[in-house]
A and B are shown apart, each in its own frame.
Chain A
């Protein structure tokens, strides 16, 4: 009981700091959203990678960056309907 409580608290603390961490009840939607957001953040965060992708997409670097940042909003579409 006490252990469970502590584990719960630790997990909460962890998730407050790292949004991408999960738990047994994480849905696929949450997980994939996080993956996408992390990926975009990673592309934007490594300038050489961003330049490379910009060249490949034939766009200007800043536009690609803006596009990546924008697509972090609902990266895998709308959340699934909650079934009652």
Chain B
């Protein structure tokens, strides 16, 4: 590649920089002030400054055409400018905005629909299958067979439940039969059992009501509601009589007209008056304000021609109705027409008021109808409408004094539950404790009768569920065997947790069920869950199987085995066998290798079911075996001996879905075998696998891939065998574009290929897929790159021949350039390949660098970022290949790009520069450091984390290796910028900043740096002060403590709490870092510590104690015992502090002093209080004693006090020879 390329790219960027330099708010570096113009505000003084003094060196008119154009249309032909005439061309979005709209700046708003997925409501993200939990009902309480006192009386017995299940099964069977018949076309039409008589069929509820009320004087048959309506409309004219009304005239009446409105029976249509909220008398909902005050008349009198202004007269009726065959009846006795005439005229409630602004508070007022304050509960965090159904009772304001104990108890529980569910954290905590403590008093029944329905609520949210489950958990502990009658109810609500998507929900569910089984006992659990094992609903069976597996893991597999054996061999129902196998499948998934001791028993349980006549049972059996083998890996092959034969013969016989399960089982068992067997069985199974390579079934494909990868990684299978028998077919069927389309297939294929690669070698694999790098399908290329990356990363590139190497690099360059979406996989692949090839890359480097260069010049930010990232990856190899010159040029280009606007890209560019500096060294760096560093100073101010991290790394490296290349002023400037970094969120950044302080202090001497840091102790933010303290400690460590201590101790005189604390904290870090050097400074700092230890402020003493700790640990065995003892005397009175932080520091400090002066002296302080009459005193003394005992029990022996009066005589110690 020619230098001109570099120059072009560099110049292009330089031009861009120059162009943007003039703009306000651009981030481009301004050499005159060494600052990027980060502020977007107009400078008040700039005008004067530049007008009066000008900018040094800069020509104000640089970049302008200083002469007037001769040809007028010079600027009309600008390229890339839209020349079409626009009406509003003055108002356009900036290019950056437009770009952002077109492809997003990487910070797109989240899809609102995605947000819905993450909604807190559990019901919203449940799958249809999971929603079936709502089909289950809380069964009645079961009898506790083990409780003799009041046993069977209070609930259904096992026998009853079983009979009921039998009934359900029968019902299901009949239903299915009917369905089958219907499907076959033999539909039996339902014959009404009652003949039609009187008015309407018995099923027509509406009319039944009507006919009853009317006593059928008309003799007219009315079967439809429409008739009902028409009849009542004829009754409008008649007044003062009583009618049953149809739903059409139910529009509530208003105002005075209804004062003596006829009492009427409500039909069910009345039940939803909320839809038209009017009429406040006799109605539940309040009336709309606009409707109140007198009867509502049609809005404008006379204009509404559709309405009638007078009742129909008899003449009119005669004209309208046929005269023959009809007769006018007298009104029946007791008939009273309705009086609310206006209701008939008004179709819908009319808004009389004109448009009004919604009061912003009114919405909240609406919400306020739901109380947040429940009597006796306090202010809740929230209260949902659904909660009203459960907790509404609390708001009815009834008199608690008149209630029975049971009712009071119920209310108490309700209140506590509400607090737990909706309360603030402290409320929750106390309520939970009350519930737990009083669980036995409340009793299992009242508790669970309230908790469990809450958990069945459809609108339950994660947090609420978590809390309620927690309540159950706590209560279980307390209730113990009292829960037995409620076990099934609890299982009904908890079992769905076992199939939740959320991992923590599953764990919670397991915990509850395991506690439940411990409380209720195995026998009761089995008798409770047994009826569900052959439940008609698959959902119930599935969840029950999972729950059973949890029970097995809680109570031990051996206890469950007899039951499981019986279930798996059930003759009566295949569903039971299916569930039994499912339980055994779940056990290893839950327990992992803990199944090993019982493997034989478990396999024996299900062994027979491999030949079951039900396909479903066979499949689940094979899956269970697969799970067992997976958990047992690499042990336990002998347990599977029995079933190997049925498994293999089965695998030959099966087809379709059944075969997939068998293959899976085989795939998991083969790795357990020893070499010869594995080899033999692999060759046996391979025939089937090869046949199934062509299977169109997705599930089968997955299983086949898994089995192939497992067989390939087994010891006994040789590379030769794989190459001859497997590879050709494998690549033919799986390395096709279609496989790259589906995410899961993609991953499986990559994994399997990598596993095969482990056996057959890199060359073999890469040779076969390298051509795909030039495929037209992008995802296929990506799949290839990922595979190559993984294979090469694990096996290296030594196996790759020269010809292949050329094709590989060529292909990878091609696919790198062709990516439409910049992908980390491509980057990783490229980086890994180049690094693996090492010096073999030399011939290709110019080409690679040229690619990088042009991509750096790309308009798209992500392309630039990826190019810069690639430089960091391959910098090492470039150095190995001796391409220093090339790197220098790259450095210069990157330097131009420091004005980058996108922080992500800027971070990557800085990272690239850093890796170049690292490999070429400070002195050889191009551009020279003295140019580079001033350019970095303003970037330090960037708030983006990635930028911060990379800059501070780069600056720190320069400060460490070549501080002399920049003058002290510049370093001080950097120091100031670094102070802000101490506030960074990321720990890595703060740590790097602190270390950089050390390097800079070393380079330019500690005085100036220290002054800066000490000033920073005065700032408000705690984190900043802490970090400053650390930095002072580091400076002291790098520049020797005597350069720092005087100034630091002097600062302690500042009568300001923060500063003094900061000083103490710095001292603490300082002594921690300098360790043994402390012995020279102990006596110097003792007076300061004295003062701090007797300060009134707790934090002062606490921090001083941590200084003492570090000093003491530093001077162990260095002869400073006198000072330490002095400090101990000052520390000791603090022993009775109660704040956990303070007391921890104090105890640590005393322990540290024990290290320095030995346990003998320290324990002299302790003996006195061990048996003090006050417990408050004994407590901390024993804590000290225990700490010492754990640390130095043996060395305490000589120092125990003489206790002759306690019969403790140790004459051995008095022996003197």
Which residues in A have some Cβ–Cβ distance to B below 8 Å? 1, 3, 14, 18, 20-24, 26, 28-29, 31-32, 35-36, 38-39, 42-43, 45, 52-53, 55-57, 68, 75-77
The answer, among A20, A23, A52, A77, for a CB contact under 8 Å with B1193, is: A20
| B257 contacts A by Cβ under 8 Å | no
Q: Name the B residues within 8 Å of A75 (CB-CB).
A: 1208
B503 within 8 A of A: no
Please give me the residue from chain A that is nearest to B1140 by CB atom: A3
Closest to A27 in B: B1171
Q: What is the CB-to-nearest-CB distance from A28 to chain B, in angstroms, rounded to a whole number?
A: 6
Residues of B within 8 A of A57 (CB): 1212, 1215
Number of B residues near A (Cβ < 8 Å) is 27
A43 nearest in chain B by CB position: B1212
A77 to B1206, CA, bound (A): 10
Q: CA separation between A31 and B1197, bound complex, in Å?
A: 13
Asked whether A36 and B1208 contact (CB < 8 A) given A1-B433, A28-B1171, A42-B1194, the answer is yes
CB-CB under 8 A from A28, the residues of chain B are 1171, 1206
Using A22-B1170, A76-B1207 as known contacts, list a sample of 11 further A-B pairs with CB atoms less than 8 Å apart, ordered by residue number in A. A3-B1140, A24-B1175, A26-B1182, A35-B1200, A38-B1193, A39-B1197, A42-B1194, A52-B1215, A56-B1215, A57-B1215, A75-B1208
* Smallest CB separation, B650 vs chain A (Å): 52
Name B1179's closest neighbour in chain A (CB-CB).
A24
- The answer, yes or no, to whether B1196 is at the interface (CB within 8 Å) is yes
Closest chain B CB from A67 CB (angstroms): 10
Task: Give CA–CA (A3, B1206) in the complex, Å.
Answer: 35
Given A39-B1197, A45-B1194; A21-B1189 close (CB under 8 Å): yes
Pairwise interchain contact A22-B1185, C-beta atoms closer than 8 A: yes
Residue of B nearest to A39 (CB): B1197
What separation, in Å, do the CA atoms of A20 and B1193 have in the docked complex?
9
A24 to B1206, CA, bound (A): 19
Q: Which residue of A lies closest to B1174 (CB)?
A: A24
Q: Is the CB of A42 within 8 A of B1203?
A: no
What separation, in Å, do the CA atoms of A64 and B948 have in the docked complex?
70
Could you tell me if A21 and B1186 are in contact, using CB atoms closer than 8 angstroms?
yes
Q: How far is the CA of A34 from the CA of B1170 in the complex (A)?
A: 14
Q: Is the CB of B1170 within 8 A of A32?
A: no
User: Contact string, B488-526, partner A, CB cutoff 8 A, digits 1/0?
Assistant: 000000000000000000000000000000000000000
Contact with A along B1135-1153 (1 / 0, CB 8 A): 0000010000000000000
Tally of contacts, chain A with chain B, CB under 8 A: 68
Question: Is B68 close to A, CB under 8 A?
Answer: no
Bound together, the chains give a CA A77 to CA B1197 distance in angstroms of 20
Q: Which residue of B lies closest to A49 (CB)?
A: B1212
With the chains together, A53 CA to B1193 CA distance in Å?
20
Residue of B nearest to A2 (CB): B429
Identity of the chain A residue whose Cβ is nearest the Cβ of B1211 in the assembled complex = A57
- A sample of 28 inter-chain contacts (CB < 8 A) reads A1-B433, A14-B1186, A18-B1190, A18-B1193, A20-B1193, A21-B1189, A24-B1175, A24-B1179, A26-B1170, A26-B1182, A28-B1171, A31-B1170, A32-B1203, A32-B1208, A35-B1200, A35-B1208, A38-B1193, A38-B1194, A38-B1196, A39-B1200, A39-B1212, A42-B1194, A56-B1216, A75-B1208, A76-B1206, A76-B1207, A76-B1208, A77-B1207
Chain A nearest Cβ from B928, distance in angstroms: 59
Chain B residues positioned under 8 Å from A43 (CB to CB): 1212
Shortest Cβ-Cβ A-B pairs, 10 listed: A56-B1215, A24-B1178, A21-B1186, A32-B1208, A42-B1197, A76-B1207, A56-B1217, A32-B1206, A35-B1200, A39-B1197
Contact residues in B for A21 (Cβ distance below 8 Å): 1185-1186, 1189-1190
In this complex, the member of A14, A35, A43, A55 whose beta carbon has the largest number of chain B beta carbons within 10 angstroms is A35
Q: Is the CB of B1207 within 8 A of A32?
A: yes
Q: Are A24 and B1193 in contact (CB under 8 A)?
A: no
Chain A residue with Cβ nearest B1172 = A24
Q: Say yes or no: B1217 contacts A52, CB within 8 Å.
A: yes
Given the contacts A3-B1140, A18-B1189, A20-B1189, A38 and B1207 also touching, CB distance less than 8 Å: no
**Could you say which residues of chain B place their CB within 8 Å of the CB of A14?**
1186, 1190
- Docked Cα-Cα span, A25 to B1215, in Å, equals 34
B1210 in contact (CB, < 8 A): yes
Q: Which A residues are CB-close (under 8 A) to B1197?
A: 38-39, 42
Residues of B within 8 A of A18 (CB): 1186, 1189-1190, 1193
**Which residues of chain A have C-beta atoms less than 8 A from B1216's C-beta?**
56
Cα separation A58 to B1175 with both chains bound (whole Å): 46
| Closest beta carbon of chain A to B476's beta carbon, Å | 18
| Bound: A18/B1193 CA distance, A | 10
User: Closest CB-CB distance, A44 to chain B, in whole Å?
Assistant: 11
Query: Nearest Cβ in chain B — how far from A84, in angstroms?
Result: 22
Cα–Cα distance between A26 and B1197 once the two chains are bound (Å): 19
- Complex CA–CA separation, A47 to B663 (angstroms): 66
Contacts of B1171 in A (CB 8 A): 28
Distance between A55 CB and nearest chain B CB, rounded to angstroms: 5
Q: What's the minimum C-beta distance from B89 to chain A, rounded to whole angstroms?
A: 68
Closest A-chain residue to B1200, C-beta based? Answer: A35
In the assembled complex, the Cα of A23 lies from the Cα of B1197 at a distance in Å of 19
Across the interface, name the chain B residue whose C-beta is closest to A29.
B1206
Which chain A residues border B1189 with CB–CB below 8 Å? Answer: 18, 20-22
Contacts of A39 in B (CB 8 A): 1197, 1200, 1210, 1212-1213
Interchain nearest-CB distance for A65 vs B (Å): 12
Instruction: Provide the bound-state CA to CA distance between A37 and B634, in Å.
Output: 48
Residues in A with CB closer than 8 Å to B1190 are: 14, 18, 21
Which residues of chain B are within 8 angstroms of A24 by Cβ–Cβ distance? 1175, 1178-1179, 1182
Question: CA–CA, A45 to B1197, complex, Å?
Answer: 12
C-alpha gap A43/B1211 in the complex (Å): 12
| Beta-carbon nearest neighbor of A56 in chain B | B1215
Partner of A36, one of B433, B1185, B1193, B1210: B1210
C-alpha spacing A36/B1204, complex, angstroms? 12
CA distance A43 to B1198 in the complex (A): 10
Question: In chain B between 652 and 693, which residues have their CB closer than 8 angstroms to a CB of chain A?
Answer: none
For residue B431, give the distance in angstroms from its CB to the closest CB of chain A: 14
Q: How far is the CA of A55 from the CA of B525 in the complex (A)?
A: 69
Q: How far apart are B374's CB and chain A's nearest CB, in angstroms?
A: 25
A57, closest chain B residue (CB):
B1215
Most buried by B among A14, A31, A75: A31
Task: Give the complex CA separation of A38 and B1207 in angstroms.
Answer: 16
What's the nearest-Cβ distance from chain A to residue B336, in Å? 69
* Complex Cα gap A75–B1203 (Å): 13
Residues of A within 8 A of B1170 (CB): 22, 26, 31
Residues of A within 8 A of B1196 (CB): 38
Question: With the chains together, A60 CA to B1193 CA distance in Å?
Answer: 27
Point out the residue from B1182, B1200, B1208, B1213 that lies within 8 Å of A23, measured CB to CB.
B1182
* Complex contacts, A23 vs chain B, CB 8 Å: 1182
Chain A residue at smallest Cβ distance from B1210:
A39
Q: Which residue of B lies closest to A50 (CB)?
A: B1212
Q: How far is the CB of A31 from chain B (nearest CB, A)?
A: 7
CB within 8 Å of A: which of B1160-1193? 1170-1171, 1175, 1178-1179, 1182, 1185-1186, 1189-1190, 1193
Q: Considering the chains assembled together, what is the distance between the CA atoms of A65 and B1190 in angstroms?
A: 25
Contacting residues, chain B, for A77 (C-beta < 8 A): 1207
Q: Is the CB of B1182 within 8 A of A22?
A: yes
Is A55 a contact partner of B1194 (Cβ separation < 8 A)? no
CA A75 to CA B1208, docked complex, whole Å: 8
Within the complex, what minimum Cβ distance (angstroms) separates A20 from chain B? 5
C-alpha gap A68/B930 in the complex (Å): 77
Distance between Cα atoms of A36 and B1190 in the complex (Å): 17
In the assembled complex, how far is the CB of residue B1185 from the closest CB belonging to chain A, in whole angstroms?
6
Shortest CB-to-CB span from A39 to chain B, Å, is: 5
CA distance in complex: A36, B1171 (Å): 18
- Across the interface, A55 reaches (CB within 8 A) one of B433, B1203, B1217, namely B1217
Separation in Å of the B696 CB from the closest CB of chain A?
Answer: 59
Report how far A21 CA is from B1182 CA in the complex, Å. 8
Complex Cα distance, B1206 from A75, in Å, reads 11
